[in-house]
Structure 1
């Protein structure tokens, strides 16, 4: 990758950052206010309960609120939206059921969208622990936490300007997309995981499952206690660090503009090229494919 392409990548990252800032400003009124109505300070405390009978999909959407998703012993879904806000109007929480889907949504009014100033809002969603269907989470300008032991089918998270912390989760498929926020995961087990992060770091500990992902402007670190999976990861402007158990066996295909370091003995395939490391560690049962533009790769 030549210097011209690197400059183009960095310019794109800068454009994305400016776009994020303008988008957030439109939500927060951080740059200007276009309403003549005066803002006030309000407290929000709203609790709603919905049925879980026949539900196989849960959708949670939040704006300017931190989201906590909590599985517990219960038969219904309980949503608690609370906190303080300075605005010309209040955001609203809606819980709706349509067919096999229940949706919990926090919406800003048109006035709030224009003039919203500051907030400290939280959305707690309590879900039956025995629920094992699909979960879809979307968040703008808020953090998302899932920290209790839980098993799901498919889970999808999409965040803009917020961090995510996910722990003790088992799922068939996991999809995570984020712009401007960090991802922390621990004790995660999936069949297949897809991750894409722009402008944020990823730190994943004790992971199980096949992984495909991409990072732009951020570091990626992942550790496995056992390894019988495939990894396919690409990074632009950030380091890749992979911690594997001593008995890991895999075919390695790594390319980086920076340094490549591997603590495992690699039987090199063919001629060794600069900024490349291709070979086999013990066996080819698993594939580890890594690409890094403007960063280092470490396998240890």
Structure 2
């Protein structure tokens, strides 16, 4: 019986191999005109690098298994990579995707990531990539971003990890079912909704309101020493701790309130369970 199963596995593997096409290493492109408002990436189970450079088109290259397409759809340029179900297995090899976008592009960028890793960075902290809106929808994997400036930043994650180093935004929202979010050198208001998982935020400046709503999980909020805020924290279960000295501090049955500095910005925290640490 054991020999039968071994033979069956070999036959299935050989049969699947015949279904697989040769590795694709191809590039396609689409011009970025004044009518293009959105660049949208739909990437499934691949490692992706986005490179901004001096150019006037979007070009993508695929090294590995899968199908790549770059096409215009109304006011959107869509970059899509799909893999067959049997190509998800590691012994069929990984797929690497490189997407080139114009450095001068300042409109909307939508990232829809099924799994795998994605990296994207502006030139430097002093010369960030500027976008009107950056939207991230991720199922799993790891997204690494750096040196960005946006009007709107929106993250919706089922799981996985998001790491952002140096982000300035006028609106920032993070909705996470599970997984991790790490924000370093963050400037802007922030709204965080966590079903579970961990979120760590290092604020370079406090220039807007902060709100966290936790079903469970953990939030660590690192604020500048001279931050001006009014704290209101409510906990059904769990713990809210603040290491800043607060004026008019009130602590009652897990709830905490008070003011630091001028109290200019609101920090509102609501917890069903979990922990929030403000320091």
Does 2:46 correspond to 1:46? no
Superposition pairs for residues 113-192 of structure 1, below 5 Å? Answer: 113=85, 116-118=88-90, 119-148=93-122, 149-192=128-171
Aligned residues: 257
What RMSD in Å do the two structures reach over aligned CA positions? 2.1
Q: How far is 1:244 from its partner?
A: 0.8
Distance 2:41 2:88 in 1: 22
Q: Please tell me whether the aligned partners of residues 197 and 216 of structure 2 are also in contact (alpha carbons under 8 angstroms).
A: yes
Counterparts of 1:132 and 1:70 in 2: how far apart (Å)? 14
Query: Structure 1 residue 286 and structure 2 residue 258: aligned?
Result: no
User: Structure 2, unaligned stretches of length 5 or more?
Assistant: 1-11, 123-127
- The one of 252, 258, 263 equivalent to 2:238 is 258
Judged with a 3 Å threshold, the aligned counterparts in structure 2 of structure 1 residues 81 and 115 are, in CA distance, closer, same or farther, namely closer
Q: CA offset at residue 116 of structure 1?
A: 4.7
Moved over 4 A (4+): 34-37
Q: Which has the higher contact order (CA 8 A, sep 6+)?
A: 1
Secondary structure of residue in 1 paired with 2:85: helix
TM-score (norm 2): 0.85
1:235 match? 214
Structure 1: runs of 5 or more not aligned: 1-33, 86-90
Match of 2:55 in 1: 74
Structure 1 CA distance for aligned equivalents of residues 204 and 158 of structure 2: 29
Which residue of structure 2 lines up, in the alignment, with residue 100 of structure 1? Answer: 75
Shift of 1:37: 4.2
Give the match's secondary structure for 2:197.
Answer: coil
Which residue does the alignment assign to 1:64? 45
Q: Say which is worse superposed, 155-164 or 113-122, in terms of deviation.
A: 113-122
